[in-house]
Structure 1
Amino acid sequence: MKNLSHERYVKSVINNINCSGATRNKIKEDLLNHIQIKSLETGEEDPWKLMGDPYEVAKEFGENMDSKYDNRYYYSEYEYKSKTRVFGIPLIHINSRRNGLAKGIIAIGGLSIGIISLGGISIGLISFGGLSIGLLIALGGLSGSLGFAMGGAAFGYYMAIGGAAIAQHFAMGGYAQANVAIGDTVKGIVSLFKTKGTGNVLLKAPVDIKEFSKAVHDFYPNIDRITFKIINFFASNM
């Protein structure tokens, strides 16, 4: 008869080990047998008391691979902090644990906070993630930045590029809203659109790039060269 608490415990261990299906089943079988034997010997039914933290058990598997599993499994969660610190913060912090938090100058994790940050939820000066918030640059599914934001939905003070892009100054996307807006459906002061546009200067794609450039220069006479090249690239390829 199955012991449900044993099954749940073994499942918790297995979830922290990356391996093939056959190896997974073998590890599961061996762990269940080991727990059951230990339970009979001690009279203790609680596998957490018998074996300890499932995470630590999985870690032990990873550190002591046995040839009977053909070395085809390994410990899948990982955390690293560099000894080098800047103002008390690790130079590099990597945390691949489930829901793990990484905080460092360079941070990589499920939730990451750093100068350069990469994670499912990422916050940093330069940020990459599913949900990305960056002071200077943000790239992600949903991104927000005071500088440059790019993503499925992008919100940037200076520039945004995405499926839906909203910014104060420049935006390019399926839906774009900014002072200079380029996209399918747009709202801006200078608006270059394919389907629908609102604004003071309305230009329908395809557009004469000289006409578009003049409209942008009239509104932003001191626009920097890099920004000008980026928006001209998007305008030329609509």
Structure 2
Amino acid sequence: MTFSEKLTGLRRKSGISQEQLADRLGVTRQSVSKWEGGTAMPELIKLISLSELFGVSVDYLVKDWMEEPDNPCGGTEEISSKQADRLEKKVDELTNYVKGRVYRYDSKTRIFGLPLVSVRFGFVRNGRLSMDNVARGIIAIGNCAVGVVAIGIIGVGLLSLGVVALGLLALGFVAMGLVSFGIAALGILALGVSAVGVYSGGVAAIAAKIAVAVSAVAPTAVGEFASGSHVLLWGDGLSAPEVRSFLLEHHPDLWEPLLRLLTDIGAHIK
């Protein structure tokens, strides 16, 4: 028998579902489905966990020619609490040794098949982050997070917050999105120490249309140091009405909330 056939048989004999097995191993149900479908093989740490869980050797699991499980306990219909405790301890030890501790949590509540809250957070010792350690949910929190709201070292989502943030609204040290705020910001509207966008503001800003910054480069530029086709220099200071009037002169159809934001930045450059 192949590994996939053995795993399917052992799981069914133990009376647990793919989702229950996935929860015990700290992986996704899709991963278990791929193992049983023969399209993927688990990594060594998961093979060891499976052998502990079902009371068979790793040899039996991976060697097709071994037809009978070498189970010293003779096999059981159900997984005992003692086996479960042993498995949990072994998984913790191996995880700490090989990868470092990663805390995992997925809420039972799901929307469109995704957990309402997904958490994957911790230290990955070997520096490689597998997809099993990526938080994926409506609200995702972790080292690497993907969701509608994503919070993490790397965040990808409609609203993302992180050291590196990518999203419709992105806030981070490095932010890329429709609207981005960060030390380095790239977007349609980009605000940051270094900002690049269609409309941008900050300390140093480059824009396709309007830049408002200490150092600004754009067709319409407002700043202490500014370069462009239409330039308003900060000089000894600018009032909000002066900045607003200048922006409206060259962009009369500018969206009012954006006009207010750029006007406020221009009046407080220093």
In structure 1, the residue matched to 2:261 is: 230
Structure 2 contact 240–264 (Cα < 8 Å) conserved: no
Percentage of identical aligned residues: 27
Structure 2 contact 243–267 (Cα < 8 Å) conserved: no
Q: What is the 5 A alignment of 1:1-238?
A: 52-55=90-93, 77-98=102-123, 99=129, 100-134=133-167, 136-146=168-178, 148-157=179-188, 159-168=189-198, 170-178=199-207, 179-194=209-224, 196-205=225-234, 206-238=237-269
In structure 1, the residue matched to 2:75 is: none
Structure 2 contact 223–266 (Cα < 8 Å) conserved: no
Q: Distance in 1 between matches of 2:156 and 2:263?
A: 30
Q: Distance in 1 between matches of 2:134 and 2:267?
A: 42
Task: Please give the TM-score of this superposition, normalised by the length of structure 2.
Answer: 0.57
| AA aligned opposite 2:192 | G
Structure 1 contact 201–215 (Cα < 8 Å) conserved: no
Task: Please give the TM-score of this superposition, normalised by the length of structure 1.
Answer: 0.65
Q: Distance in 1 between matches of 2:216 and 2:222?
A: 7
Gaps of 5+ in 1: 1-50, 59-75
Q: Distance in 1 between matches of 2:93 and 2:195?
A: 42
Gaps of 5+ in 2: 1-88, 124-128
| AA aligned opposite 1:78 | Y
Q: Distance in 2 between matches of 1:57 and 1:209?
A: 58
SS in 1 for 2:122: coil
| AA aligned opposite 1:207 | L
| AA aligned opposite 1:162 | G
Higher strand share goes to which structure? 1
Q: Distance in 1 between matches of 2:147 and 2:191?
A: 23
SS in 2 for 1:111: strand
State the 1:78 CA deviation: 2.2
State the 1:118 CA deviation: 0.5
| AA aligned opposite 2:90 | G
